Amino acid sequence: MSVLDSKIPEGSIDKKWTNHKNHIRLVNPANKRSIDIIVVGTGLAGASAAASLAEMGYNVKAFCFQDSPRRAHSIAAQGGINAAKNYQNDGDSVYRLFYDTVKGGDYRSRESNVHRLAEVSADIIDQCVAQGVPFAREYGGLLDNRSFGGVQVSRTFYAKGQTGQQLLLGAYSALSRQISKGKVKMYNRHEMLDLVMVDDKARGIIARNLVTGKVERHAAHAVVLCTGGYGNVFFLSTNAMGSNVTAAWKAHKRGAFMANPCFTQIHPTCIPVSGDHQSKLTLMSESLRNDGRIWVPKKIEDAQAIREGRLKPTQLAEEDRDYYLERRYPSFGNLVPRDVASRAAKERCDAGFGVNATGQAVYLDFASAIERYGKEQASIHGMNNASKDEIIAMGKKVVEAKYGNLFEMYEKIKDQNPYETPMMIYPAVHYTMGGIWVDYNLMTTVKGCFACGEANFSDHGANRLGASALMQGLADGYFVLPYTIGDYLADDILTGKISTDQPAFEQAEKNVNDRLETLLSIQGSKTVDHFHKRLGKIMWDKCGMSRNAEGLKEAMVEIKALREEFWKDVKVPGSINGLNPELEKAGRVADFLELGELMCLDALTRNESCGGHFREEFQTSEGEAMRDDENFTFVSVFEYTGEPGEAVLHKEDLNYEAIEVKTRSYK
Amino acid sequence: MNLTLKVWRQKDANSKGEIVAYDVKDISEEMSFLEMLDVLNEKLVAEGDEPIAFDHDCREGICGACSLYINGEPHGPMNRTTTCQLHMRSFKDGETVFIEPWRAKAFPVIKDLMVDRSAFDRIIQAGGYVSVNTSGNTIDANAIPIPKEDADEAFDAATCIGCGACVAACKNASAMLFVSAKVSQLSLLPQGKVEAEERVKNMVEQMDHEGFGACTVTGACEAECPKGISLENISRMNREYLKATVSPGK
Ligand SMILES: Cc1cc2nc3c(=O)[nH]c(=O)nc-3n(C[C@H](O)[C@H](O)[C@H](O)COP(=O)(O)OP(=O)(O)OC[C@H]3O[C@@H](n4cnc5c(N)ncnc54)[C@H](O)[C@@H]3O)c2cc1C
Ligand code: SF4
Ligand code: FES
């Protein structure tokens, strides 16, 4: 038998969660008061988990590295959150959301988890509205929805282009309420630097107070990691600057297996790179593909003229444009899933049709939407003879109401007005489907260590559908973990307080201090960012949008060499005492330099193309991904053995009972 | 372009700070203001100096982490723009740029350009929430229709990013715009109305306790707020506060 026990409950797919909740062990309210839980991370997953656990009666200690929980990376999510409410009466249902998510994930996710996610999705919306989250509404006062990629219903709830902000502020307010009651003790500007194991259980963490520099011990009966994704291993991504893998990686080294680490989502619509100085990339929400049409010139000489500034996109006649998504995928058109849209953009740019100076951009055009909405407005207002200018002006107003803040953001960065000229966009690293392996209870392979939100691998398979990460983070934190953690903690009601005066804490603290001292003592010749950028380039070139065996093997050798160079030649200024952002960065990049190698190993092992993982060797003659269900219908789960490139592969076989596995087609 | 930067350097909360001048060269117009500081920091580290500490994270104008008082204005010269969204095309070759931290008693400096804004968190903890449990046993989200106008107005107030520019802009270092944005959001929605009176009293009390100054309605906060939070929120909060404190039976 595999070392992995996914603990999927018995019964038919739609009864599993209910049965499980009915039979799972509970901790009674009085006993909860004697149990401590550490929650690392206060994004959507962490803030909702910490608030819920505290409400149930546990004593919670929560940690984040920002100066306030309100600033977690979740705040930046733009487009929306899915839920199977079927308010639009367009045929949506729990089953359909479940089905879309499994299909969108290219049949590489665990069926039972995804079904549970779809089941609790509706509760999330009720919860958020009750908290005062101001979702967009229609004139009748009911909630509005829009559509996201890879689905044919409108099930996405949103708050302009700031859905993540509003949801996080909702979770933050629930967390704040518990902080004020003393049920959560909040540690801002603290970074977890190790997981502490006593016997074979997670019993605490080592964290550094980023202001004083002091390395501290914190004990608890269980540790919940809600530390987000690791897209910044690519240096440039749409993630916040501080997003990192450190907490997850430390847990990995303590025995938590990593699942599908190479499954990375490259988002098709981001603002293209403009130069070497670039520190991050900015997303233009997927919701824009509801109304924006993606194209490049049909003729290569027009593309060239545009690149050289001799031709403007608005001058190009309709018949000279190639709306390549509409051409290749007529039934989903511009709303194909992200992996498909990204690869199609790369294909056109590689073929020489790119439209910015570097040839790495395509257009996202709103002209037809502006005209369509303008005509609709004219009709609503009975303006039968509206002039073209009047129509366009009214259309712009509608588009502004829908996407105003995104257009503003684009204009600030590019100094171009997207109401007048099409946006230029290109794919960028955005999200990591891979992460810490968890069982149905969200427990990792380390007893007492749990993982929620983007940090775990659980629900999105090889490709995440838009608006599903927010849903998963809140589902895990509000509705799943608070129940499932009881099953583990039921054994701990008599344990009593965990002391930090134990050899395990002492040793872990010493390791952390030693490592920080080592980083400071190298005093080499190159900055942390120098190494981070080089790692990012290797990852993007060889483990990015398309991969091949040869490149991946090279990348593994290069990353290992880069890691050795880092530990000999990095320069970290300042001291361990007090605030030292360069030291923080150095620790994170050191972990990325290990993770990168594991990602390449995973990509190399998976001899198929699925979702965001595209292996050039495995494609159809039309350039579509070729999955190999016979040999690869499993989760790749890696055990750390001392060297990232020598991790041991375990397989969790995926069984599909409620869904028939098909070739994924959006044509 | 080349610029001279005059930057506030302060070792820690207990040390005295001073302005230090730096020259930065070959800055591209496409860079953001923080990327320009990254370039300077890379140079400082390479030369063995300590880089300038400043808060930042999303670099998309939404997390509220970045701050900086640039040439006498919070978040610099562009209206409705955070420092991370400010681009170097707003500056001229050869210009001298002054960069200082937020200045307010309630926001003590931690290091260089970084300040402690945890007072804002404590104000929210005092009542900036709806007291509803996260049990999942709430009523259906569409059970109470909310007029679109109210929902939109609540949303506009809710877009505050908690950056603190309003405090930095105000000569009295008042936090009224920040506090009123949250009070307004929740008092405009039926879910928040239930405890509106308690909320406004508690939040205002905490605000005073943190050492923020009084509001004399100069409007500097609104003018400098990167999210365009409106002064109307302050009027609304004043009305709510009055209702909560002088209504009969209280
Ligand atoms: C620009 C952008 C737009 C997006 N838009 C959407 C969207 O419209 N819809 C959607 O569904 N999804 C969207 N996503 C994805 C979604 O936002 C994220 O997947 C999700 O918010 C992650 O939430 P989280 O709680 O797991 O982690 P995060 O929000 O990333 O939180 C991580 C937390 O962990 C803490 N942390 C990390 N490491 C440590 C450590 N070592 N010690 C202490 N604390 C630590 C951080 O301080 C933070 O509090 C978007 C993502 C991006 C980048
Ligand atoms: S009101 Fe404006 S300036 Fe003040 S904290 Fe909120 S967003 Fe910042
Ligand atoms: S860094 Fe997030 S708002 Fe500026």
Give tens-digit pLDDT for A345-391. Answer: 999 999 999 999 999 999 999 999 999 999 999 999 999 999 999 99
Verify that B94 and B128 share a domain, yes or no. no
**Interface subset of A 119-148, CB within 8 angstroms of B:** 120, 123, 125-132, 134-143
Give the model's pLDDT for residue B249: 54
Q: How far is B27 from chain A (nearest CA, A)?
A: 9
pLDDT at residue B250, as a whole number: 47
* Mean pLDDT score, A633-651: 97
- The answer to whether the CB of A336 falls within 8 A of the CB of A394 is no
Q: Is B230 helix (H, G, I), strand (E, B) or coil?
A: coil
Q: Which domain holds residue B38?
A: 3-111
Shortest Cα distance, chain A CAs vs residue B51, angstroms:
8
The average pLDDT across B222-246 equals 96
Domains in chain A, CATH or no CATH each = 28-265+430-492 (3.50.50.60), 269-429 (no CATH), 502-653 (1.20.58.100)
Are the beta carbons of A282 and B60 separated by less than 8 Å?
Answer: yes
Cβ distance of B45 and A282 shorter than 8 Å: no
**Per-residue pLDDT tens digits for A127-162:** 999 999 999 999 999 999 988 877 889 999 999 889
Structure tokens at B68: 């900086």
Whether B221 and B172 share a structural domain: yes
Say if residue B23 is in the same domain as residue B102: yes
pLDDT tens string A334-348: 999 899 999 999 999
Q: With b meaning 16 or more CB within 10 Å and e meaning fewer, what string describes A18-56? A: eebeeebeebeeebbebbbbbbbbbbbbbbbbbbbbbbb
Q: Are residues B143 and B107 in the same domain?
A: no
Q: What pLDDT is stored for residue A1 in this prediction?
A: 47
Q: Which residues in chain A are contacts of B148 at CB distance < 8 A?
A: 137-139, 141
B162 shares its domain with B231: yes
DSSP letter for A638, please: E
A290-301: average pLDDT:
96
Same domain, B10 and B93: yes
Q: Considering every ligand atom shown, identify the ligand nearest to the alpha carbon of residue A67 and give its number.
A: 1
Cα A87 to Cα B203: distance, rounded to the nearest angstrom: 36
Cβ of A71 under 8 Å from any chain B Cβ? Answer: yes
Domains: count for chain B: 2
**If you ran DSSP here, which 8-state letter would residue A443 be given?**
B
SS (H, E, C) A477-543: HHHHHHHHHHHHHHHHCCCCCCCCCCHHHHHHHHHHHHHHHHHHHHCCCECHHHHHHHHHHHHHHHH
Query: B167: CA distance to ligand 2 center in Å?
Result: 8
Cβ contacts of A174 on chain B, cutoff 8 Å: 129, 134
A141: which chain B residues are within 8 Å (Cβ-Cβ)? 145-148, 151
Supply A443's token pair.
């427990």
Closest CA to B205 of B175, B239, B160: B175
- Both B196 and B213 in one domain: the answer is yes
Q: In whole angstroms, what separates CA A170 from the centre of its chain?
A: 19
For chain A positions 238-257, those within 8 Å of chain B (CB to CB) are 240-242
Distance CA A187, CA A207 (A): 10
Query: pLDDT > 70: what percent of chain A?
Result: 100
Mean pLDDT of A212-239: 98
Three-state secondary-structure class, residue A146: strand
Residues B75, B162 within the same domain: no
3-state secondary structure (DSSP) of residue A215: strand
Sign of the dihedral defined by the CA atoms of residues A155, A160, A161, A165, in that order: negative
At B247, the pLDDT band (50, 70, 90 cuts) reads: low
Neighbouring C-beta atoms of residue A554, cutoff 10 Å? 15
Q: Are A210 and A576 spatial neighbours (Cβ–Cβ below 8 Å)?
A: no
Cα three-residue angle A427-A429-A430, rounded to 5 degrees: 105
Sign of the Cα pseudo-torsion (A560, A562, A564, A570, in order): negative
Confidence band of B248 (pLDDT split at 50, 70, 90): low
Residue B164 CB less than 6 A away from ligand 2: yes
Cα A583 → chain centroid: 25
Q: Please name the residue ranges forming H helices in A351-428.
A: 367-380, 388-414
Query: Cβ separation of A582 and B45 shorter than 8 Å?
Result: yes
Which of B155, B166, B212 for a ligand 2 pocket mutation test, highest count of atoms within 8 Å of Cβ? B166
Cβ within 8 Å, pair A179-B114: no
Answer whether A587 contacts ligand 1 (Cβ < 6 A): no
- Tell me which residue in B145, B147, B185 faces A132 most closely, judged by beta carbons: B185
Nearest by CB: B38 against A143, A240, A279 = A279
- Looking at B80, B95, B111, the residue that finishes a domain is B111
Q: What is the pLDDT of residues B57-113, one digit of tens each?
A: 999 999 999 999 999 999 999 999 999 999 999 999 999 999 999 999 999 999 999
Q: Of A665 and A176, which is predicted with more confidence?
A: A176
Chain B: closest CA distance from residue A415 (Å): 9
Ligand nearest to the backbone CA of A81 = 1
Instruction: For a ligand 2 pocket test, name from B215, B229, B232 the mutation site with the most ligand atoms within 8 angstroms of its C-beta.
Output: B229
Taking the C-alpha atoms of residue A134 and residue A127, their distance in angstroms, rounded to an integer, is: 12
Token duo for residue A639:
């055990």
Residue A583 pLDDT greater than 90, yes or no: yes
Three-state SS for A233-293 is HHCCCCCCCCCCCHHHHHHHHCCCCEECCCCEEEEEEECCCCCCCCCCCCECCHHHHHCCE
Among left, alpha and beta (phi > 0; psi -120 to 50; other), residue B249 is: left
Q: What is the mean pLDDT of residues A399-404?
A: 89
Same domain as B125, residue B104: no
Q: Look at residue A3 in the predicted model and tell me its pLDDT.
A: 85
CA–CA gap between residue A422 and residue A419 (Å, rounded): 7
| pLDDT band at residue A267 under the 50/70/90 scheme | very high
Closest Cα partner for A322 from A354, A291, A350, A290? A354
Q: Is B26 exposed, middle or buried (0-12, 13-18, 19+ CB in 10 A)?
A: exposed
Across the beta sheet with A634-639, what order do the strands follow?
A435-436, A258-259, A634-639, A648-653
Residue type at A638 in one-letter notation: F
- pLDDT tens-digit map of A516-555: 999 999 999 999 999 999 999 999 999 999 999 999 999 9
One-letter amino acid of A49: A
Contact state of A70 with B30 under an 8 Å Cβ cutoff: no
For residue A121 and ligand 1, the question of a CB distance below 6 A is answered with no
**B84 CA distance to ligand 1 middle (Å):** 19
* CB distance B54 to ligand 2 below 6 Å: no
User: Among residues B1, B60, B71, B73, which one has the least CA distance to residue B34?
Assistant: B60
Domain boundary among B111, B145, B162: B111
Q: How far is CA B124 from CA B131, B143, B183, in A?
A: 13, 27, 10
Of residues A189, A28, A383, A114, the one with CA closest to residue B110:
A189
**Using CB atoms within 10 A of its CB, is residue A181 exposed (0-12), middle (13-18) or buried (19+)?**
exposed
Same domain? B222 vs B238 = yes
CA of A244 to the centre of ligand 1 (A): 10
Number of other residues whose CB lies within 10 A of the CB of residue B122: 17
Same domain, B165 and B62: no
DSSP state at residue A337: -
B96/B128 same-domain check = no
DSSP E strands in A117-257: the ranges are 156-157, 184-187, 190-198, 201-209, 215-219, 222-225
Q: Which of B11, B58, B135 to mutate to test the interface with A (most CBs of A within 10 A)?
A: B58
- Supply the CATH number for residue B178's domain: 1.10.1060.10
Cβ contact, residue pair A68, B39, below 8 Å:
no
Q: Average pLDDT for residues A418-436, to the nearest whole number?
A: 97
- Using DSSP, state whether A450 is helix, strand or coil: strand
Domain harbouring B27, CATH code: 3.10.20.30
Pocket residue to mutate for ligand 3, from B32, B58, B70, most atoms within 8 A of Cβ: B58
As a whole-number percent, the residues of chain B with pLDDT over 70 amount to 98
Interface with chain A: mutation pick from B24, B49, B57, B146, highest number of A CBs within 10 Å: B57
Supply φ then ψ for residue A493, to 5 degrees: -70, -20
Share of chain A above pLDDT 90, in %: 93
ipTM over 0.95: yes
Two structure tokens written together for A617: 């060797």
Q: Which of B111, B139, B169 is the last residue of a domain?
A: B111
**C-alpha span between B225 and A161 (Å, rounded):** 19
